[in-house]
Amino acid sequence: MGKFQCTTCGKISTDKNEICQAQAEIGAVYTCHDCGNKSSRAADICNPVKMTPSYFCSTCGNTAIEKQALCEPVKL
């Protein structure tokens, strides 16, 4: 199942149609250890930590490894 990220707002989804400026499919996601920003490119993050999310929030687009970390989790 593909994962797509918006190049404008950073939202991640399995449905390319939910993304306003979808880039190519992504694999791992990098999250900043300090501020929590996320991106599919480590160069965009100030202190990157690589993660492979299993879920994303259908409300805010945040990603997480564990389902309980999100308010409206959707499996990737």
The residue extents of the domains of the chain are 4-75
Q: Supply the pLDDT for residue 52.
A: 75
Asked whether the predicted pLDDT for residue 43 surpasses 80, the reply is yes
Nearest to 27 by CA among 37, 40, 38, 15: 40
| Tokens found for residue 75 | 């499996």
Asked whether the predicted pLDDT for residue 70 surpasses 70, the reply is yes
First to last CA, the chain: 7
Alpha-carbon span 46 to 34, nearest angstrom: 8
CB crowding 33-62: b at 16 or more within 10 Å, else e: eeeeebbbeeeebeebeeeebebbbeeebb
Q: Supply the pLDDT for residue 24.
A: 64
